[in-house]
Amino acid sequence: MTTRRLTIAGVVVGGAAVAAARFWPRRGAVPGGVGQPLLRMPFARGTVVVCSQGNQLRGGHTHALPQNRFAVDFAQPALDVVEVIAAAAGTVAYALADVDPESVDAGLGYGNQVKIAHAGGYHTFYAHLDGVAVRAGERVEQGRRIGTMGATGRAGIRHLHFSLHEASSSAPGATTNEAIEELVAMDLQGPREFRRARGDELLGDPDAFWLGRLYASENSPSEAPLLGAPSGALGAIVDAGERALREVLARRERLAASARERSSLTVDSLAGALSAELAADPDHPVALYLWATSVDVPRERWQQAEATLLRALASNAIPRRKEPWLAARAYLHLGSIARRRGLASSARGYFEAALRQSISADVAAEARRELAR
């Protein structure tokens, strides 16, 4: 049997990889017939991420705002640090670093950010970064480290907001973006192969990030895209990363189920479920919050509840663990506990913190009511 070999856009594939890879037409070419750049996952080779916001909205859009409608969000709550790398070679057109981490409006809501201009009249956008490792005007090769995943700006959970746009841009924020036509990735719910995928194939749930699909990266500096099955070594790295991430996501789903069902569970049965989660991860902020509010408070163990809520807040401050809703609700409970204990000044401080941290109109209204009492 003759082994087929094929070269497309500088990528050499052969044998089984030819049959396995999917090649998509280059729609929406810029004037001159030059299509979109072939993009690689913006993470180091072997990194596994969850698509926290992908193609779930009507009309094939990932986000509601027009400038973000084809953007994809990737999260990684199992790793303390996640390096973000260039999806294709180009020149840094814009870089914003060192924004106020407490400001949701920093960088027009996108926080620390980098834009890389590519041949053919496109640029990629990397937003909500923690650290930024490049400067405007700098030439970067594909796979070059440009920063780290963060939660700056209006991010919510720590994640990377990644998108493709026509033309270059040297200003903060996103311009109208394009649907990604070719992104090399491995969908870990499918065959264990890297292939060219369209951006609208990436699936994530904006209401429950832990239910998104998992994807792996083959991106490595100065190496051609890998299409087809990974080597044994790379496959083992991906497998280990997938196991670790799935464990974290499964725990988050179990805790979400406990939160949904707690009104129908006895305190003892809920305590049993939460004890198992805390034994596996003693500092999980959601597990600590649920224990304090659903076990300690019903049993009127006020001091224990306060201590546990403070532990939940400390753990929630760790970027990879952050749950945006948790801080305000924890402060509301702390204020109520302090008031029960006759600590009026502490109660007021907690309610003020709840108001500052609130991302919900209902929680903000409750904090105002408590402050008005």
Say what the pLDDT of residue 168 is. 84
Say what the pLDDT of residue 281 is. 96
Residue scoring higher pLDDT (64 or 11): 64
User: Which listed CATH number (2.60.40.10, 3.30.2230.10, 3.10.105.10, 1.25.40.10) goes with 247-372?
Assistant: 1.25.40.10
Rg (CA), the chain: 23
pLDDT tens sequence across 160-208: 999 999 988 888 988 888 888 999 999 999 999 999 998 888 888 777 7
Say what the pLDDT of residue 263 is. 86
Say what the pLDDT of residue 98 is. 92
Q: Report the pLDDT averaged over residues 200-225.
A: 88
Length of the chain: 373
Q: Show the tokens assigned to 340.
A: 């029960």
Say what the pLDDT of residue 337 is. 97
Q: Report the pLDDT averaged over residues 324-343.
A: 96
6 strand-pairing partners: 13
Above 60 in pLDDT, residue 22? no
Above 90 in pLDDT, residue 301? yes
* Closest-CA residue to 160 (of 169, 171, 151): 151
Give residue 312's pLDDT band: very low, low, confident or very high (50, 70, 90): very high
The residue ranges of every structural domain in the chain are 5-230, 247-372
Report the CATH architecture of 5-230: Distorted Sandwich (2.70)
Residue scoring higher pLDDT (24 or 289): 289
Give residue 236's pLDDT band: very low, low, confident or very high (50, 70, 90): very high
Residue scoring higher pLDDT (21 or 210): 210
Please give the share of the chain, as a percent, with pLDDT higher than 70: 86
Q: Report the pLDDT averaged over residues 76-82.
A: 97
273: left (phi over 0), alpha (psi -120 to 50) or beta: alpha
Residue scoring higher pLDDT (32 or 211): 211
Q: Report the pLDDT averaged over residues 222-251.
A: 96
Above 80 in pLDDT, residue 62? no
Mean pLDDT for the chain? 87
Say what the pLDDT of residue 199 is. 84
Q: For 2-39, give the secondary structure using H, E and C.
A: CCCEEEECCEEEECHHHHHCCCCCCCCCECCCECCCCE
Say what the pLDDT of residue 59 is. 58
